[in-house]
Amino acid sequence: MTNILVLHGPNLQLLGGRESEIYGADSLDAINQKLIDTARAQNIALTCFQSNSEAALLDKIAAAPEQKTAVIIFNPAAFTHTSIALRDALLAVAVPFIEVHLSNTQKRESFRHHSYFSDIAVGTITGFGALSYQLALQAAFGIVQN
């Protein structure tokens, strides 16, 4: 069975009650459940993991090849603009990944315009709220079919 890993970075556990004008009203649990249901309908195993800890995210990335992960969907959140360690881990494991953001980072503060991940991602999906994750999952399906 094909495995897809969804990683959520810091503060995303607060979705549903956090700045809904920027991030939308959906909770992280609701987003995850929709992803799991969509993947299950395609006979694909999907695991979701959120952490505020860079180290915990690094550990999940490092374990991805051993767990036969075909694609990673990754919302690095604030780590987007700061984490060379996560970038290096993704390069090291060479598992294709899609960068996801709920908000359009280019329409926000200038420090959010730079990503340490966009240039090494298969693609980046931003600005569609919770739909960004579903669009990324559809793209991941395309990757695993090729």
Q: Which DSSP string corresponds to 18-37? A: S-HHHH-S--HHHHHHHHHH
Q: Residue 6 — φ and ψ, nearest 5°? A: -110, 120
Exactly one of 8, 101, 116, 133 is catalytic; which is it?
Answer: 101
Exactly one of 23, 114, 116, 133 is catalytic; which is it?
Answer: 23
Catalytic (active site) residue 101: yes
Q: Based on C-alpha coordinates, what's the Rg of the chain?
A: 14
Q: Residue 26 — φ and ψ, nearest 5°? A: -70, 140
Q: What is the dihedral of CA 51, 87, 120, 126, to 10 degrees?
A: 30
CA angle 92/78/106 to nearest 5° reads 100
Catalytic (active site) residue 114: no
Catalytic residue set: 23, 101
